[in-house]
Amino acid sequence: MAKQVGTALAAGAHRAPLQAAGVPEGARPGLERYLDLLAAWSTRVNLTGARTPADRVALLVGGVLPAAPLAGPGRLLDVGSGNGSPGLVLALLRPDLPVTLLEPRRRRWAFLREACRAAARPDVEVRCERHDEYGGPPAATVTVRGLALPPSELAALLGEDGRLILFGPRRAAGPGWREEPSSPGIQLLRRAVSRET
């Protein structure tokens, strides 16, 4: 795969778009390696419709940047990780977070495992399972992009007062949630914790 990256992309093709997007300098090398690998794998596995380095950065990284400070301390669980955005991107932007990626499709799961190693985050756990099969510990933050799952279906994945970060169209929160301010394209919901007196 690494050889394909060298022939498919000019060296450093993602560097300038990452810098222009305002990505912190410390996160750029890992994000470059992830995006290079994604470009190479996308020739055989449908991972993204973004075909140029600038398009990949805008679609997969730019829209995730405002969510980096929204993730709470503790485990981040990304549901339906697919091409690595937002879960792996957040792991690279926030190396302080333990991250678990859930992806039931085997080829995408294989890509994510390789991408975590290439981006120097081999500690990111990549599980080949659906959200309703997850038996791990509750997360402080759950992220979802590209899946139309209602917040009620994701509540069991969160710890008390957990954060749910949804990318894409807004969803009705329903009872038990409170919405907090966030950026366009990002919906931040917190579990409403009843305080008994």
Paired residues of 139 in beta bridges:
158
Phi/psi at 160 (5° precision): -55, 135
Identity (one letter) of the amino acid at 151?
P
Q: What is the CA radius of gyration of the chain?
A: 17
Distance CA 160, CA 18 (A): 35
- Please provide residue 109's backbone torsions phi and psi, each rounded to the nearest 5 degrees: -60, -45
* 3 state DSSP class of 85: coil
Direct distance between the N- and C-terminal alpha carbons of the chain, in angstroms, rounded to an integer: 59
Say whether pTM exceeds 0.85. yes
Quote the tokens at residue 128.
Answer: 């080949």
* Residues 55-98 pLDDT 10s: 999 999 999 999 999 999 999 999 999 999 999 999 999 999 99
Percentage of the chain lying above the pLDDT 70 cut = 93
Q: Is the dihedral of CA 172, 174, 91, 117 positive or negative?
A: negative
% of the chain surpassing 90 pLDDT: 82
Residue whose token pair is 């300038």: 16
